[in-house]
């Protein structure tokens, strides 16, 4: 049996699955229910200064649905906790006492003044919590008041706030980044420079989830008007994975432990984050949509997979995929794949044909001998993966690599051993052949 225990930024937890700072971790009642289901840790819903903020009493959530009405994207205009600070602190203390083996990290957001941070850090320390997470990412509401993403978007502020916290507490400091930036590396480097014990990402992405065409107003709306909210759920995972990978492969930040957040719904999502360098993961939307029990599948699925792969601990595979993330210019242009359709699986929907015909390379037949039949024409196939992506039958279309020595019948080129990236490619007028 795989050992799922982790020590992240010095904080121990029985498994790498934490609940992200959000409604699931809003109060003791929820957190206790979550621990009973098996969550390894929580980041308590973000605390702020008293008096507590007020939320809208109109709808605060909205969803993007898939065809079968699964929630694939989720958005909210909720603020940080709207409960008094002391009430939260008392509950944190009690829960930590009752559940000593679970991680409890407290998310914080106060005005960008050193005194404010000093004050709240003191009070959190008294709860016995395992660490703090700086919410520098909330993109709506709080950002209008100069907090959240208004701080996270400015690397100097990130560095300043992180330094204050590192200076005024012995608790591990996790810096939670906003994805609402052109490049995730500068704020990550700022956190690293200031000595952050870890970085977590992502917080939500600025979004309008939809438009009410009867009201002619954005969704969700309050009294007929709406505002942008924060986007999360499965749809944001690719964005977050890229940001995680960028930080993990940047020398200045590569050493900082990462907590991966965004669209994690099952064990596989978590494994992907960990493979790209995360030490643990955090989940919000999946718990909000399906309840806390989802963690049971995450735990069993991850350990099954680790057993099958022979990974004994999370560290055994954490970061294994990082060396494979590179820049486009390093990709081997001499390599080639061809789509191949498994006729025994093909259900003959014809969609690969029309897609390749309409928008790609006219490389899939429509009929053969007058019968509907789909076969790849190697002379035309550029190996783009469009057909395999849209085929409704899993594994029906495979992208098969040509072996060294094979001739690509589309280009007439023979596949060679030596990689041929753009900067050495004969078609590149600026090829720096000598440089290598």
Partner 1 sequence: MEREPRTDVAPGRLSPEAYAAGFSDLHPGFEPNAARVEAERCLFCYDAPCATACPTSIDIPLFIREIAKGQPKAAAKTILDANIMGAMCARVCPTETLCEEVCVRHFSDGAPVKIGQLQRYATDALFDAGAQPFTRAEATGRRIAVVGAGPAGLACAHALARAGHEVTIFEAREKPGGLNEYGIAAYKAAGGIAQREVDFILSLGGIVLKTGVALGRDFYLETLRAEYDAVFLGLGLGAVNALGLDREEGAEDAIDYIAALRQAEDLSALPVGRRVVVVGGGMTAVDVAVQAKRLGADEVTIVYRRGEKEMGASGYEQELALTEGVAIRHYARPVAVESGRAIFERTQIVDGRLAGSGETFDIPCDQLFKAIGQALDPSGVETIDLLGGRIKVDDERRTSIPNVWAGGDCVHDGEDLTVVAVEDGKRAAASIIAALVGPGRFGT
Ligand X SMILES: Cc1cc2nc3c(=O)[nH]c(=O)nc-3n(C[C@H](O)[C@H](O)[C@H](O)COP(=O)(O)O)c2cc1C
Contact residues for ligand X, defined by CB under 6 A: 20-23, 45-46, 74, 76, 78, 80, 107, 135, 137-138, 176, 203-204, 230, 232-233, 236, 261-264, 283-286
What is the smallest separation between the CB atom of 338 and ligand SF4, expressed in angstroms? 7
Is 138 an active-site residue?
yes
382 binds, among ligand SF4, partner 1, ligand X, none (CB under 5 to 8 A by kind): ligand SF4
DSSP string over 218-254: EES-BTTB---EEEESGGGHHHHHHHHHHHHTSTTTT
Catalytic residue chosen out of the listed positions 138, 232, 284, 381? 138
**In this complex, which beta carbon is closest to ligand SF4, that of residue 50 or of residue 367?**
367
283 binds, among partner 1, ligand X, ligand SF4, none (CB under 5 to 8 A by kind): ligand X
**In this complex, which beta carbon is closest to partner 1, that of residue 287 or of residue 339?**
339
Q: Which of 361, 410, 413, 425 binds ligand SF4 (CB under 6 A)?
A: 361
Q: Is 331 in the site for partner 1 (CB under 8 A)?
A: no
C-alpha–C-alpha distance, residues 397 and 360, integer Å: 16
DSSP string over 370-406: TEE---B-TTT----SHHHHH-SSTTSEEEEEPPTT-
DSSP H or E run through 174:
strand 173-176
Q: Which of 160, 321, 384, 400 binds ligand SF4 (CB under 6 A)?
A: 384
Q: Token pair 């906003």 is at which residue?
A: 178
C-alpha–C-alpha distance, residues 189 and 193, integer Å: 6
What are residue 395's phi and psi, to 5 degrees?
A: 65, 10
368 binds, among partner 1, ligand SF4, ligand X, none (CB under 5 to 8 A by kind): none
What is the smallest separation between the CB atom of 421 and ligand X, expressed in angstroms? 35
Decide: 303 and 390 in contact? Cβ < 8 Å. no
323 binds, among ligand X, ligand SF4, partner 1, none (CB under 5 to 8 A by kind): none
Q: How far is CA 382 from the centre of its chain?
A: 31
Structure tokens at 96: 């930590």
Q: Which of 1, 51, 54, 67 binds partner 1 (CB under 8 A)?
A: 67
Q: Is 364 in the site for ligand SF4 (CB under 6 A)?
A: yes
Give the CA diameter of the chain: 80
Q: Which of 372, 401, 404, 416 binds partner 1 (CB under 8 A)?
A: 372
Q: Is 339 in the site for partner 1 (CB under 8 A)?
A: no
Structure tokens at 26: 């809003």
C-alpha–C-alpha distance, residues 292 and 151, integer Å: 31
Structure tokens at 428: 């590149």
Name the residues annotated as catalytic. 138
Question: Which residues of the shown chain bind ligand SF4 in the complex (CB under 6 A)?
Answer: 339, 341, 346-352, 356, 360-361, 363-364, 374, 376, 381-387, 391-393, 396-397
């Amino acid at each position: 049996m795989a050992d799922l225990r982790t020590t992240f930024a010095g904080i121990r937890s029985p498994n790498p699955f934490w609940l992200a700072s959000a409604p699931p971790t809003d109060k003791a009642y929820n957190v206790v229910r979550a621990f009973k289901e098996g969550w390894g840790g929580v980041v308590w819903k973000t605390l702020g200064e008293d008096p507590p903020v007020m939320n809208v009493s109109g709808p605060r959530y909205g969803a993007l649905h898939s065809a079968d009405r699964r929630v694939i994207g989720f958005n909210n205009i909720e603020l940080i906790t709207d409960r008094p600070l002391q009430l939260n602190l008392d509950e944190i203390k009690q829960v930590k006492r009752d559940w000593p083996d679970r991680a409890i990290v407290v998310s914080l957001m106060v005005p960008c003044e050193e005194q404010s941070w000093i004050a709240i850090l003191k009070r959190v320390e008294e709860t016995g919590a395992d660490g703090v997470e700086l919410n520098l990412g909330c993109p709506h509401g709080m950002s209008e008041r100069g907090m959240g993403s208004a701080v996270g978007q400015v690397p100097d502020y990130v560095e300043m706030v992180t330094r204050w916290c590192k200076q005024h507490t012995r608790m591990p400091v996790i810096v939670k980044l906003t994805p609402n930036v052109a490049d995730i590396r500068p704020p990550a480097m700022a956190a690293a420079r200031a000595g952050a014990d870890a970085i977590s990402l992502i917080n939500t992405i600025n979004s309008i989830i939809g438009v009410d065409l009867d009201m002619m107003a954005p969704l969700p709306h309050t009294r007929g008007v709406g505002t942008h909210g924060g986007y999360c759920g499965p749809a944001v995972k690719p964005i977050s994975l890229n940001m995680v990978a960028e930080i993990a492969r940047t020398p200045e930040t590569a050493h900082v432990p990462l907590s991966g957040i965004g669209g994690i719904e099952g064990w596989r999502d978590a494994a992907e984050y960990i493979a790209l360098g995360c030490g643990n993961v955090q989940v919000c939307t999946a718990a909000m949509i399906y309840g806390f029990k989802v963690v049971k599948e995450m735990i069993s699925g991850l350990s099954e997979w680790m057993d099958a792969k022979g990974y004994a601990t999370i560290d055994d595979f954490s970061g294994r995929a990082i060396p494979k993330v590179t820049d486009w210019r390093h990709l081997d242009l001499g390599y080639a794949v061809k789509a191949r359709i498994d006729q025994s699986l093909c259900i003959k929907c014809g969609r690969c044909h029309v897609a390749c015909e309409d928008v790609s390379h006219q490389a899939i037949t429509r009929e053969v001998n007058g019968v509907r039949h789909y076969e790849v024409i190697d002379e035309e196939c550029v190996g783009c993966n469009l057909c395999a992506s849209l085929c409704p039958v899993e594994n029906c279309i495979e992208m098969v690599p040509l072996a060294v020595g094979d001739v690509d019948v589309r280009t007439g080129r023979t596949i060679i051993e030596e990689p041929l990236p753009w900067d050495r490619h004969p078609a590149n007028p600026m090829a720096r052949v000598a440089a290598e």
